[in-house]
Structure 1
Amino acid sequence: MIAVYDRLGRVTGVEDRATVYRDGIWHASAGVLVRSTDGERIYVHRRTDTKMVFAGMHDCLAGGVVGPGEDPEQTAVRELAEELGIVLSSDDILPLPMASASWDGEWEGRPMRCHLFAYELRYDGPIRHQPEEIADGWWWTDAELRAHLADPDWPFVPDTRVLVDDLIA
């Protein structure tokens, strides 16, 4: 079950994840951009081929959908621990200046509507992938990530593409 939002970003209820994705119901996700402490590198990862949405695609945000009763900051901390094994408190992440955006697009021919909340963490510690969610990961400079994003055939999650220009220098 995940939290359901309206078009304006207000929580309106709860629905099964599969129904939300199938019917294009507004929901929210939170993601954390993990940068090295010197700010020079970003952690980029590839999602597993078994993910329900955006399977096998790359992303520079560790995150996921907002659960019932969660606020986006709680989701960000939870997902960071689940996906990358980085356990911390909400005091350790900072909302990015553009903090939120909305994506009203399509995925596999179906509508996908999501409010995105973005945070940043400066971190050089260990990273441990959750094998069910993350297939691989590596550190890239902003320029390396931009070079990959310039290739239209490079599979990168479309909702993060909404924010990526504001995320990287």
Structure 2
Amino acid sequence: MGGDELVAVYSADGEVVGSATRRRMRAEGLWHAASAILVRSGNRVFVHRRTDDKDVFPGVHDCWAGGVVGAGETPWDCAERELAEELGITGVPLVPLFTTSADVDGTRIHLYAYEAWWDGEVVIQESEIASGGWMDLDELRVRLADPAWPFVPDGRIAIEEFFRRELDR
């Protein structure tokens, strides 16, 4: 997506307060929202490496499909759109998991996390995802414990919240 694309701008409290170009949102560190979908198959999740030309956190791993909520778009609609665009997955129910907020390296974000169960083919969007595959949740925990394994900071916050909530069940 280009820098001139309009995205929803949020308050620190999580309310939509307007819109701005993606470029302005990044440059000024404006609060925004993103949808994040954890794609699961049994005890596995789909983990991918972002392309080297992403505008934030290029070339690092993530276990969440998703992206920034566009102007006039709901987080739910964003989640459905991003799941289809990034992984070619459509027509699956999304299960809301949680919402969390973070300020990571000047990126101020409200993250709407969802879960989707999928056993079909994953077709990655090559312009955003360099590679990907299924990983057991236990292996993901081990890799996340290694500070040398490059992982998206807000994705790390979200998966740690997911693991915490799973332990509380």
Instruction: Name the counterpart of 2:45.
Output: 42
- By relative contact order (CA 8 Å, sep 6+), the higher-ranking structure is 1
2-structure distance, mates of 1:16, 1:113: 15
Q: Does 1:87 align with 2:82?
A: no
Instruction: Name the counterpart of 1:158.
Output: 153
Instruction: Name the counterpart of 1:64.
Output: 67
Identity, in percent, stands at 51
1-structure distance, mates of 2:102, 2:19: 19
Unaligned 5+ residue runs, structure 1?
none
One-letter amino acid matched to 1:42 = V
Instruction: Name the counterpart of 2:25.
Output: 20
One-letter amino acid matched to 1:23 = E
Q: Does 1:141 align with 2:146?
A: no
2-structure distance, mates of 1:31, 1:47: 14
TM-score (norm 1): 0.91
Q: Residues 90-169 of structure 1: matches in 2 within 5 Å? A: 92-96=93-97, 99-106=98-105, 111-168=106-163, 169=166
One-letter amino acid matched to 1:164 = I
Match of 1:5 among 7, 10, 14: 10
TM-score (norm 2): 0.91
1-structure distance, mates of 2:40, 2:75: 19
What's the offset of the Cα at 1:166?
Answer: 2.7
Provide Cα deviations, 1:100-134, integer angstroms capped at 9, x if missing partner: 0001120xxxx110000000011100100111001
2-structure distance, mates of 1:51, 1:14: 21
Structure 1: which 4+ aligned runs deviate by more than 4 Å? Answer: none
2-structure distance, mates of 1:93, 1:105: 26
One-letter amino acid matched to 1:55 = P
What's the offset of the Cα at 1:167?
Answer: 2.0
What's the offset of the Cα at 1:31?
Answer: 0.8
